[in-house]
């Protein structure tokens, strides 16, 4: 192909998938998608290989969605599809790891011939069952599970499936609206793709797709070739549900790629912190891509040279019907584990450990309806709060930043407008970043109560309370997280990091997210940086 046409096609594809993601955000019903960008979007060739992904979104969705489209094609091969078909699943093992994420796949037709596919994923706030949280004993308790099915058949909605979904969730309007939102964003991508093919005179995506994937693979292999071959191990302990868990990785660098094996990791849990393999692969691969070939396009070509495995039945390769709702509380730790391995290969490019796991509590109304002047309307919200990242080589860590998830914080105004809760305090926690030559990023303190003094429920999926982020090369750990309730009488009670609790009437809930670890010994920190921190009140 003409080189100019290849570059034009690539730039158009990037613009198309970003527009796809923006349409999803503009039309989403769920606040966490609309405000925080908890989504993914991408374009695929007819073999199910991801060619390009939207920048907007989260690696857990993007990289597991990249694997999911092939599973859709295994159930509905191209020859069984027709124009107007749209497919959907929220199966954790066929999609992106838990029931709250719905993946929608749409084939694109030009003159009755499929020329590509679009896929998108978003987090739907409620799927029934116990609700989003870590407390279930198996996946059947966690909500409704939709196998790979037709959401639309030849343009007609699958009314039976939609009615079944709406009958099993607490907010049927939002659930149905989000599915239409996913279908709409894929349609927007399809229209733009057909315009691109016509503008550039391309019959399909096959030739340009093969070139994109081949060049991405070769560029990634060239980056790997610059590393020293060998095996590098790293172990991390995290809070788990009610007892600590071990995440153990061995990363092998060879000329034909990088492999990561999680042998030695704790066995699967009886609670919902288990991780399906696709989500493990998504975040472990992302950990590699952060520092190896991070300017190479993220698609099936570059992803294909990173191989991630975990023993069957361990925490990171949980099998059906294990509970997996809070799989992010473990899965989002994996980039830090992988980076711990890579620090032994490229020490000048790797940050220290950070808070990593987002703090995304689910708030909902309590059971009690007693008391005067109490707003008893049902509500469910799922805000996002973040801790600090680890200090970077030559730079301090980033405060209250979502790494590795990339999911933005939902604003206080939106949280208060969509619930009867009041956010009294939301501020940096001074001194929470681990000290070192470069300081870890700060966590934050959030204080919340019910507007009318009523009780409310919080479902917690927090980590780094008992096992804070470790510093690198002689630096200090970041401050651990904490969660507790207190009242005007000074009665304070600490809560566990995971599980459902009731915030009693008249109490406030306080959450302190963890800080990131430092990098390098504190004696190497410049006095200028110390003075800046003191002046800003960060220490």
Q: pLDDT tens-digit profile of 466-475? A: 999 999 999 9
- Mapping DSSP to helix (H, G, I), strand (E, B) and coil, where does residue 419 land? coil
In this prediction, residue 372 carries a pLDDT of 47
DSSP letters for 54-116: -SSS-HHHHHHHHHHHHHHHHHS-GGG--TT-EEEE--TTTTTSSTTEEEEEEEEEETTEEEE
Tokens at 520, concatenated? 């390098």
- How many Cα atoms sit within 13 Å of 76 on the Cβ side? 21
In sequence order, what are the residues at sequence separation of 6 or more whose Cβ sits closer than 8 angstroms to the Cβ of residue 61? 38, 39, 40, 96, 101, 121, 282
| b/e per residue 499-512 (b: at least 16 CB within 10 A) | bbeebbbebbbbbb
In a domain, 239, yes or no: no
DSSP letters for 288-312: HHHHSSTTS--SHHHHTTEEEE--T
In this prediction, residue 369 carries a pLDDT of 52
In a domain, 104, yes or no: yes
Residues 13 and 159 in one domain: yes
Q: Which residue has the tokens 């990791």?
A: 265
In this prediction, residue 98 carries a pLDDT of 97
In a domain, 264, yes or no: no
In a domain, 269, yes or no: no
In this prediction, residue 368 carries a pLDDT of 62
Q: What is the pLDDT of residues 420-449, one digit of tens each?
A: 999 999 999 999 999 999 999 999 999 999
In this prediction, residue 377 carries a pLDDT of 73
Contacts of 34-38 with CB under 8 Å at 24 or more apart are 35/408, 35/410, 35/411, 35/414, 36/384, 36/407, 36/408, 36/409, 36/410, 37/406, 37/407, 37/408, 38/122, 38/123, 38/384, 38/407
Domain end, chosen from 217, 243, 260, is at 217
| 421-428 β-sheet, strand order | 421-428, 444-450, 508-512, 482-486, 493-494
Tokens at 79, concatenated? 């020859």
Q: pTM score, two decimals?
A: 0.96
User: Are 11 and 28 in contact, with CB atoms under 8 Å apart?
Assistant: no
Q: What does the alpha-carbon distance between residue 463 and residue 329 come to, in Å, rounded to a whole number?
A: 7
In this prediction, residue 255 carries a pLDDT of 84
In sequence order, what are the residues at sequence separation of 6 or more whose Cβ sits closer than 8 angstroms to the Cβ of residue 218? none
Q: Which residue has the tokens 């799922």?
A: 382
In a domain, 203, yes or no: yes
Q: What is the pLDDT of residues 367-378, one digit of tens each?
A: 765 544 455 578
Domain end, chosen from 201, 217, 233, is at 217
Q: What does the alpha-carbon distance between residue 441 and residue 475 come to, in Å, rounded to a whole number?
A: 13
In a domain, 240, yes or no: no
3-state DSSP helix/strand/coil percent for the chain, to nearest 5?
30, 25, 45
- How many Cα atoms sit within 13 Å of 31 on the Cβ side? 21
In this prediction, residue 380 carries a pLDDT of 87
CA-nearest of 188, 190, 186 to 198 is: 190
In this prediction, residue 374 carries a pLDDT of 53
Residue 361 domain boundaries:
351-539
In a domain, 289, yes or no: no
In a domain, 496, yes or no: yes
In this prediction, residue 307 carries a pLDDT of 98
Number of domains in the chain: 2
Domain end, chosen from 168, 193, 217, is at 217
- Please give the angle made by the CA atoms of 360, 362 and 363, to the nearest 5 degrees: 130
In this prediction, residue 81 carries a pLDDT of 97
Strand partners, 152: 86, 157
Strand partners, 307: 259
DSSP β-ladder status, 230-238 and 257-261:
unpaired
**Residue 259: exposure state from Cβ atoms within 10 A (0-12, 13-18, ≥19):** middle
Strand partners, 491: none
DSSP β-ladder status, 306-309 and 257-261:
parallel
Question: Average pLDDT of each block of 10 consecutive residues along the chain (539 residues)?
Answer: 95 98 96 92 98 94 96 98 98 97 97 96 92 95 98 98 96 95 98 98 95 98 96 98 97 95 98 98 98 96 98 97 98 98 96 97 79 64 95 97 92 94 97 98 98 95 98 97 95 96 96 98 95 95
Helices (H), 90-245: 139-142, 159-166, 172-200, 206-225
């Amino acid at each position: 192909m003409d080189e100019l046409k290849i570059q034009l096609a690539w730039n158009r594809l990037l613009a198309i998938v970003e527009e796809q993601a923006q349409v999803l955000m503009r039309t989403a019903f769920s606040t966490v998608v609309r405000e925080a960008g908890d989504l993914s979007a991408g374009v695929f060739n007819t073999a199910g290989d991801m060619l390009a992904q939207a920048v907007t979104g989260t690696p857990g969705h993007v990289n597991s969605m990249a694997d999911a489209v092939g599973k859709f094609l295994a159930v509905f091969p191209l020859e069984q599809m027709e124009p107007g078909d749209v497919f959907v699943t929220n199966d954790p093992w066929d999609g992106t790891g838990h029931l709250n994420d719905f993946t929608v796949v749409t084939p694109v037709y030009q003159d009755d011939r499929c020329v590509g596919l679009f896929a998108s994923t978003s987090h739907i706030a409620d799927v029934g069952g116990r609700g989003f949280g870590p407390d279930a004993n198996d996946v059947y308790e966690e909500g409704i599970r939709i196998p790979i099915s037709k959401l639309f058949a030849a343009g007609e909605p699958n009314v039976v499936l939609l009615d079944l979904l709406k009958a099993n969730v607490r907010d049927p309007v939002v659930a149905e609206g989000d599915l239409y939102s996913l279908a709409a964003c894929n349609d927007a991508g399809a229209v733009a793709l057909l315009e691109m093919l016509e503008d550039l005179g391309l019959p399909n995506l096959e030739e340009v797709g093969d070139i994109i994937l081949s060049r991405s693979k070769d560029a990634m292999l060239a980056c790997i070739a610059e590393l020293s071959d060998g095996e590098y191990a790293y172990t991390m302990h995290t809070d788990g549900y009610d007892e600590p868990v071990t995440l153990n990785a061995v990363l092998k660098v060879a000329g034909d790629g990088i492999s990561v094996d999680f042998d030695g990791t704790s066995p699967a849990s009886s609670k919902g912190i288990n991780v399906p393999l696709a989500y493990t692969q998504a975040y472990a691969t992302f950990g590699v891509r952060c520092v190896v070939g991070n300017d190479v396009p993220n698609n099936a070509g570059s992803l294909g040279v990173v191989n991630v495995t975990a023993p069957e039945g361990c925490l990171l390769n949980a099998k059906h019907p294990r509970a997996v709702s809070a799989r992010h509380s473990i899965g989002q730790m994996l980039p830090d584990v992988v980076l711990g391995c890579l620090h032994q290969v490229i020490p000048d490019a790797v940050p220290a450990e950070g808070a990593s796991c987002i703090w995304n509590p689910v708030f909902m109304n309590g059971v009690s309806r007693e008391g005067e002047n109490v707003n008893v309307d049902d509500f469910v919200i799922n805000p996002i709060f973040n801790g600090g990242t680890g200090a970077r080589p030559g730079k301090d860590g980033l405060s209250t930043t979502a790494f590795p998830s990339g999911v933005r914080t939902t604003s206080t105004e939106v949280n208060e407008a969509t619930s009867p809760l009041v956010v009294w305090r939301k501020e940096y926690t001074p001194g929470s970043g681990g000290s070192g030559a470069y300081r870890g990023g700060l966590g934050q303190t959030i204080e919340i109560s019910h507007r009318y003094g009523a009780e409310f429920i919080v479902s917690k999926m927090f980590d780094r309370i008992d096992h804070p982020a470790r510093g690198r090369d002689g630096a200090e750990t970041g401050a651990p997280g904490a969660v507790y309730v207190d009242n005007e009488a000074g009665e304070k009670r600490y809560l566990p990091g995971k599980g459902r609790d009731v915030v009693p009437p008249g109490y406030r809930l306080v959450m302190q997210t963890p800080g990131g670890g430092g990098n390098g010994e504190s004696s190497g920190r410049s006095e200028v940086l110390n003075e800046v921190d003191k002046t800003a009140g960060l220490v």
